[in-house]
Amino acid sequence: MNLKASEMGEKERAGLGTGAFYWELIRDGVLSDDIINNIKRRVGAAADARMAGIDVPVFGCFGSGNHGITLFITMGMMGRHLKVDREQLARALAVSLLVVGIIKTRTGILTPHCGCSVAAGTDAAAGIVYMLGGSSSQIRNAVHLMMANLTGMIYDGAKYGCSLKMVTAAGTAVESAYLAIKGADVPGNNGVVGYTLEKSMDNLRVITEKGMGNVDMAVLNILLDV
């Protein structure tokens, strides 16, 4: 369903045309024709379609269509790329949805930060590690890598520019998964990343509730030109 939305967004050059522009960059050899850039292209095009208001359904995640685009296109395309069977893909999706559930218990459904990055992208990274045969500690490491990278990305309304953030989240998710498989991790007590996954999630709650408590009002002031 979400890939069909992507095809429509690219064909119509909807919204910012992010997906179409990525296709041109790949076609022209500016970007390599690899799985990461093609995931970014597809995620961007689906976001273009949705944010432009094209009448096309998308499969959401935790109440958000853009979360669903980011998570399911990234996971689905990686599953095809890795040639995993349906059971392994289903289990990977279960892992990713459990992680997004953990994050949402700390941040709530509507957040001042970009949930497509902090939640959906992070969950995709976790699920990809599972598809790659990674361990639970490597899944945790992928979550930490995403947290250290994208936690500061703010949510400033549903609009054309969401496609850019979703593209960043999707690409970084794949990169973080492979980095975690290679052994990369963020040291404990490093910024918002704690010594354990539970502590990192608690830190995310503090950042969301206390550190970013005024972001929503600031964004509203900008949108309303107050």
Interacting residues of 157 by C-beta distance below 8 A, sequence separation 6+ = 219, 223
- What global pTM score does this model have? 0.93
pLDDT above 90: residue 169: yes
pLDDT above 80: residue 216: no
Q: How far apart are CA 83 and CA 81, in angstroms?
A: 5
Average pLDDT over residues 10-37: 97
> What is the torsion angle, in degrees rounded to the nearest 10, for the CA atoms of residue 177, residue 179, residue 182 and residue 184?
-120
**What is the average pLDDT score of the chain?**
94
Helix axes 35-51, 2-12, angle to 10 degrees: 80
* 118-158 per-position pLDDT tens digit: 999 999 999 999 999 999 999 999 999 999 999 989 888 88
Backbone angles phi, psi at 112, to 5 degrees: -75, -15
Q: How far apart are CA 108 and CA 62, in angstroms?
A: 10
